[in-house]
Chains A and B, each alone.
Chain A
Amino acid sequence: MSTKASRFSARLMLAPAVILLLGWMLVPLTLTLIFSFQRFLPLRGGFQGWVGFENYARFVSSSAFWPAIQATVIIVGGVLLITVILGILLAILLDQPMWGQGIVRILVIAPFFVMPTVSGLVWKNMFMDPNNGLLSHLWRYFGADPVIWLSDASMLSIILIVSWQWLPFATLILLTAIQSLDSEQLEAAEMDGAPVLSRFWHIILPHLSRAVTIVILIQTIFLLAIFAEIFVTTQGSFGTRTLTYLIFQRVLESQNVGLGSAGGIYAVILANIFALLLMRIVGKNLDR
């Protein structure tokens, strides 16, 4: 790939993909930007002129804004915590030689293939339903009052559902990372007198640090945008209204496209800040 001709043909062949991706990204982004500076109420008079930064100011000053940010942070943070910790433990477990390893690994990955809407509904109706859910049966079996999950422990419920979905992803990445650990390093540590826990702390965990950063980075970007799980369960009530959900409500429920678009731009900026921050950390880790 070094001659002029081959570079040119490489660009030519890449062009369709690049143009498609750029269009895919740029057209909606530009439209959102344009809408965000307009007063645009499709069902109540449509386009009503340019308003400058008024939408941006209104979105932030709304009483729903800070609670939404808080909910987003709690959900993202909670899911990250659960998936990373359980992911590491599961990865170590799955790395042990055992009978039926292949099947177990596929089963562990399975939740990742379930669509968010479906998993939300399954959890809502089969597990968390106060009357017929498996969890309420379990609670009653032990003589306790069933928890009304989605209203009394709404935040925890959402975090559980989303964690269940993303745990396989974390486990998979961490498992491959563990498998790449040189077994001689563990043996050397064993000879050096490190007991099991020290080996985990001093050898395995540092080895996993890069994989953990990557899991956090990728998951954060996706978790900032979770929507279906909230839509099919709490519909944003009981304190589970995230930034994404707030934008959805502004655009579709209040039919205020301008205001929602301004929120969308905020979300884009927020996601980018996160991405940049995390990329830096990953970059630092990769430098070593």
Chain B
Amino acid sequence: MGQIVLEQVTKRFGDVTVIPPLNLTIEDGEFAVFVGPSGCGKSTLLRLIAGLEDVTSGEIRIDGKPSATIPPAKRGLAMVFQSYALYPHMTVRKNIAFPLRMAGLDKAEQDRRVTQAAEVLNLTDYLERRPGQLSGGQRQRVAIGRAIVREPAAFLFDEPLSNLDAALRVGMRLEISELHKRLKTTMIYVTHDQVEAMTMADKIVVLRAGHIEQVGSPLELYRAPRNLFVAGFIGSPKMNLITGPEAAKHDATTIGIRPEHISISASEGRWPGVVGVSEHLGSDTFFHVQNTGLGESVTVRADGEVGFKYGDQIYLTPRADMIHRFDAEGLRIA
């Protein structure tokens, strides 16, 4: 149904190469997330798949068919845009029905599908309103509704949650995940937020400057980041990266240890340090520990009730089995 294969795909804008040759397979029914810092080419990649941009070379196969000559509308893909791109002069009903109208479906069938989509997305009460009268979350749902009614082979999401406030974002994240579980349709989701990537994806594709840095399930990426970039990008707060003599002890140029894999004690441990700023989240507390002799400050996660104060002398102990080692090129040492 919705398998998408990218083979040696490149994209250049003039002299600027945005996507160097890239290979990727997204299986049918998979929730794939493209994640990376802004400007890494993830949106471009999505637009290439959608057909809104032409590939410079290489081939994209959707459902086994080469897509080069297929126009966007005929690829069986539906896209949800960052700005939602709702049509402001049409009611919610007409917005959702627009792709059906363009496909020439008869009125009864249009109504049936719109009503169905509205039920799924809790939009039934808003069908006669215009986008301007809806809240951000409702607009988001209309945009998704417009995608659902087409019953596409795959959904493409281009940073769909970046315009919502934090609380709403968490809610919509769940709704989209739930939608995926229910429809079992391939979804490709672009974001710069690693939390969205970790929580929603079956498969995360970490991109940097058009290159795929690593592909894998969220836990694979968390447990075994292939290089320093992925190590620093996945996980929140960021992994502590330590160079110098301490790394040399482990036969590595750089070692990485996540804040949640360091234990903290007032009396004894491997690395002495002084508590700097601490961030209390209630459930957890993040200590930024200074003067460890490891170069930079080290971030440590502790239980919310641990009550060290600014300037306290403490000791840190990393969990030996959770230390990631990287060589001089920044690649993981197995």
How many A-B contacts at CB < 8 Å in the complex?
61
Taking a contact as CB atoms closer than 8 A, the residue among A190, A202, A209 that contacts B73 in the complex is A190
**Residues B179-223 near A (CB distance < 8 A):** none
Contact with A along B70-111 (1 / 0, CB 8 A): 011110011101110111111000000011001100000000
Asked if A191 and B73 make an inter-chain contact with CB atoms under 8 angstroms apart, the answer reads yes
B contact residues around A185 at 8 Å (CB): 85-87
Which secondary structure dominates where chain A touches chain B? Answer: helix
Smallest CB separation, B135 vs chain A (Å)? 17
Q: Is B169 an interface residue (CB 8 A)?
A: no
Smallest CB separation, B113 vs chain A (Å)? 14
Smallest CB separation, B60 vs chain A (Å)? 15
Q: Is A173 an interface residue (CB 8 A)?
A: no
B contact residues around A206 at 8 Å (CB): 87, 89-90
A contact residues around B72 at 8 Å (CB): 187, 190-191
A288 and B99 contact, Cβ closer than 8 Å, known pairs A187-B52, A190-B72, A191-B50:
no
A contact residues around B78 at 8 Å (CB): 191
Smallest CB separation, B110 vs chain A (Å)? 13
State which size class the interface on A falls in. Answer: 10 to 19
Asked if B81 and A184 make an inter-chain contact with CB atoms under 8 angstroms apart, the answer reads yes
A contact residues around B82 at 8 Å (CB): 184
Asked if A202 and B83 make an inter-chain contact with CB atoms under 8 angstroms apart, the answer reads no
B contact residues around A194 at 8 Å (CB): 73, 98, 102
A contact residues around B103 at 8 Å (CB): 193
Contact with B along A175-209 (1 / 0, CB 8 A): 00000001011011111111000100011001101
Q: CA–CA, A277 to B83, complex, Å? A: 35
Q: Is B39 an interface residue (CB 8 A)?
A: no
A contact residues around B90 at 8 Å (CB): 206
Asked if A192 and B50 make an inter-chain contact with CB atoms under 8 angstroms apart, the answer reads no
A contact residues around B66 at 8 Å (CB): none
B contact residues around A192 at 8 Å (CB): 73, 98-99, 102, 146, 150
Q: CA–CA, A192 to B89, complex, Å? A: 16
A contact residues around B86 at 8 Å (CB): 185
Interface centre among A182, A189, A191, A288 (most CB of B within 10 A): A191
Q: CA–CA, A145 to B185, complex, Å? A: 70
Q: Which residue of A lies closest to B158 (CB)?
A: A184
Q: CA–CA, A202 to B90, complex, Å? A: 9
B contact residues around A187 at 8 Å (CB): 52, 72, 79, 81, 85
Asked if B102 and A193 make an inter-chain contact with CB atoms under 8 angstroms apart, the answer reads yes
Q: Which residue of B lies closest to A188 (CB)?
A: B85
Q: Which residue of A lies closest to B89 (CB)?
A: A206
A182 and B85 contact, Cβ closer than 8 Å, known pairs A191-B78, A192-B98, A193-B103:
yes
Taking a contact as CB atoms closer than 8 A, the residue among B74, B81, B89, B99 that contacts A209 in the complex is B89
Q: Which residue of B lies closest to A206 (CB)?
A: B89
**Residues B150-182 near A (CB distance < 8 A):** 150
Interface centre among A182, A190, A192 (most CB of B within 10 A): A192
Asked if B52 and A193 make an inter-chain contact with CB atoms under 8 angstroms apart, the answer reads no
- Top 3 closest A-B pairs, CB basis? A193-B73, A188-B85, A192-B99
User: Can you list 19 A-B pairs, Cβ within 8 angstroms, ordered by A?
Assistant: A184-B81, A184-B82, A184-B85, A185-B86, A187-B85, A188-B79, A188-B81, A189-B98, A190-B71, A190-B72, A192-B73, A192-B98, A192-B99, A192-B102, A192-B146, A192-B150, A207-B89, A209-B89, A288-B89
